[in-house]
Chain A
Amino acid sequence: MSQRIADCFELAKKAGRKVLIPFITAGDPDPGWTVAVMHALAGAGADLIELGVPFSDPMADGPVIQLASERAIEKHVTLGTVLEMVKLFRQTDTDTPVVLMGYMNPVERYGNKRFPDHATIAGVDGLLLVDCPPQERDDLGVAMNDVGLDGICLVTPTTTRERVKDIAGVANGFIYYVSLKGITGAGQLDSSELREPIQQIREFSQLPVAVGFGIKNAEMAVNVAAHSDAVVMGSALVEALSVAKNSEEACSVATAFVAPVRESLDNMG
């Protein structure tokens, strides 16, 4: 179990604060800027950072994150590079948890036993593999448990009650509720539909619940946070970052994106 993730949610809970989780694709728009952007996100009020690992065939992602992945791959960003970025980030930030989000094949190629070890040494706290449901984790799952790398699990509107129970039994860190049927950045989110499924998760799990997919602005974040412990914002931020011309500009885009959401979340009352 990751202490950093547990502490992050514990502290937020004590302070009555909603956990804000921005997602960026590692290495996009430029690998040299990612660590600076991570610091900017944390500085502007992000509590936990989700770092997307680029993959050539991101089946669960919409066009915005697909393109970000393609750009990062063109700039030779690999899973190894991503670990280097986290290591660098950890030199000056030892508190903000980092969760890697990606697909199975790059991890498998790195080595299902080797990867969790290297990841925790670099300072990664959790791993969310979109195309690897808990029952397929096998040796990877064992290796993750051994070193305390949290396996973040998804629950979606189509997940049956029975399965929520199974997932709750193996999840750690937090549970990520996918707020809509669809890919990242898609569709219209109706936050009133969140109440029941999140209640169902809480029936089976003590873990905090984060909600993501389709949350585009501060207003939506506030509506979602009324039901959850945390909100994840990805595509809208990745899109905003994509036009940045240099590291400084990317950092100010990141700050300008996160700060108002932070403020709105803190003023929810």
Chain B
Amino acid sequence: MTENQPGLPDKRGHFGEFGGQFVSETLMHALDELQQAYGHWRKDEEFVQRMDEDLANYVGRPSPIYYAQRYSEAAAGAKIYLKREDLNHTGAHKINNTMGQGLLARYMGKKRVIAETGAGQHGVATATVAARLNQSCRVYMGDVDIQRQAINVFRMRLLGAEVTGVSAGSATLKDALNEAMRDWVGNVDDTFYIIGTVAGPHPYPEMVRDFNAVVGREARRQMLKLCDSLPDALVACVGGGSNAMGLFHPFLEDKNVKMFGVEAAGHGLESGQHAASLCAGRPGVLHGCRTYLLDDDAGQIRHTHSISAGLDYPGVGPEHAWLKETGRADYVAVTDEEALRAFHQLTRLEGIMPALESSHALAYGFKLAAGMRPDQRVLINLSGRGDKDVQTVAEIEGLSL
């Protein structure tokens, strides 16, 4: 479970100039309440034990580290290892966080949970936990995403969640987040908002990071055991950035471990049709925090594009903005085409079908490894499995299933 993390954010939730609480006054009390509850329960023995048990017996942790031999051979450079978050219950890292927040909601006496979702992975992970904890659950999802992730929508409904389509704006993740925020403002007394990424107002970026940091803690231990040394580089995809932050955070003090966050370059950064807020954006305020974002000269948030719904978001977690600013992590971007190629390559070489989100990390990790020495190691976070994307991939290839 969560350890008492030193350092950032500060008391007001700032990572340097990033983060904070940019929300309407109605939510200020709810955020204070959440901050206090999280501060209390994270140190509570019973809560921690319950969380650890659930992560082990329900989620299936620890997830293995897998040496991808054939994928490494194809890269012909450093050895490539995969952190298998795709093997978690519900098929992605998202459950680490929803398990934590769902349990916190229960300890806080909130009987209703809401969530936003892009690819549907966070929605499914929330609906799953809500089913188990007997909480009523509503998930907001952009109409465009509902189209491209039909299977996940059905999964959520099977789990008893109400899925509400959002047609405003670009009808994707950012608009779903707006709508969830509106719901929360109106139902703040009995509702817990389970945010799915390390963005949003304080304490979400910190809390979601802490719940996902189990990924990095395990990986650190596993690599030491397996290879007697830490990896030379970590690679993870970044939409909002929760799987990347979960992997990176426990390694922040290991100065020899390089970190690469991989954003979605969509049709290419120069095309303007991408979702790479760190690579091509600038600081601003969105969804409760100051962070890097994609906007126009008037400050209107731009519509983004990525083949992967989970990365299709115009902002990013404020701690990533901070890691970029301080130079601790590097942020790069790969295109739809490169990600798709990685999707096929890993599937054929290793018999592992990655999520299109994770395929971005794979594409960059492969390039990175190719330029490294054979005695070096790259650890890629395989954040989710690709079953949900089969339809999308088939359509791109002109097939109907």
Interface of A toward B, CB cutoff 8 Å: 54-63, 66, 70, 73, 78-80, 103-110, 130-133, 135-136, 153-160, 163, 178, 181-183, 186-187
B178 touches A159 (CB 8 A): no
Residue B263, interface by CB 8 Å = no
Contacts of A54 in B (CB 8 A): 300
A-B CB proximity, top 4 nearest: A109-B299, A106-B299, A78-B298, A182-B186
B169 touches A110 (CB 8 A): no
A131 touches B29 (CB 8 A): no
A181 touches B28 (CB 8 A): no
Q: A201 CA to B288 CA in the complex, in Å?
A: 26
Describe A's contact surface by its main secondary structure.
loop
B298 touches A57 (CB 8 A): no
B298 touches A133 (CB 8 A): no
Most buried by B among A56, A79, A163: A56
Contacts of B29 in A (CB 8 A): 158-160, 163
Residue B26, interface by CB 8 Å = yes
Contacts of A154 in B (CB 8 A): 24-25
Contacts of A130 in B (CB 8 A): 24
Least Cβ–Cβ distance between A243 and chain B, in angstroms? 20
A59 touches B182 (CB 8 A): yes
Q: Who on chain A is nearest to B301 by CB?
A: A56
User: B271-297 toward A: CB 8 Å interface, digit per residue (1/0)?
Assistant: 000000000000011111000010101
Q: Who on chain B is nearest to A73 by CB?
A: B300
Contact segment of B15-23, B62-70, B321-329, B351-359: B15-23
Q: A151 CA to B258 CA in the complex, in Å?
A: 44
Least Cβ–Cβ distance between B352 and chain A, in angstroms? 37
A60 touches B182 (CB 8 A): yes
B168 touches A156 (CB 8 A): no
Contacts of B284 in A (CB 8 A): 105, 108-109
A131 touches B299 (CB 8 A): no
A183 touches B185 (CB 8 A): yes
A-B contact pairs, 23 of them (CB 8 A): A57-B301, A61-B182, A63-B168, A66-B168, A70-B169, A78-B297, A78-B299, A109-B297, A109-B299, A131-B285, A132-B22, A133-B28, A136-B22, A154-B25, A155-B25, A158-B27, A158-B188, A159-B25, A182-B26, A182-B185, A182-B186, A183-B182, A183-B186
If A56-B301, A163-B28 are given as contacts, then 20 extra A-B residue pairs at C-beta distance below 8 Å, sorted by A number, are A54-B300, A57-B169, A59-B185, A59-B287, A70-B168, A78-B299, A80-B298, A103-B285, A105-B293, A106-B298, A106-B299, A109-B295, A109-B299, A154-B24, A158-B26, A158-B30, A160-B29, A178-B25, A181-B187, A182-B186
A105 touches B178 (CB 8 A): no
Q: In the complex, which residues 18-50 of chain B have their Cβ closer than 8 Å to any Cβ of chain A?
A: 20-30, 32
Q: Who on chain B is nearest to A183 by CB?
A: B182
Q: A67 CA to B30 CA in the complex, in Å?
A: 28
Known contacts A57-B169, A57-B286, A73-B300; A156 and B25 CB within 8 A of each other: yes
A104 touches B285 (CB 8 A): yes
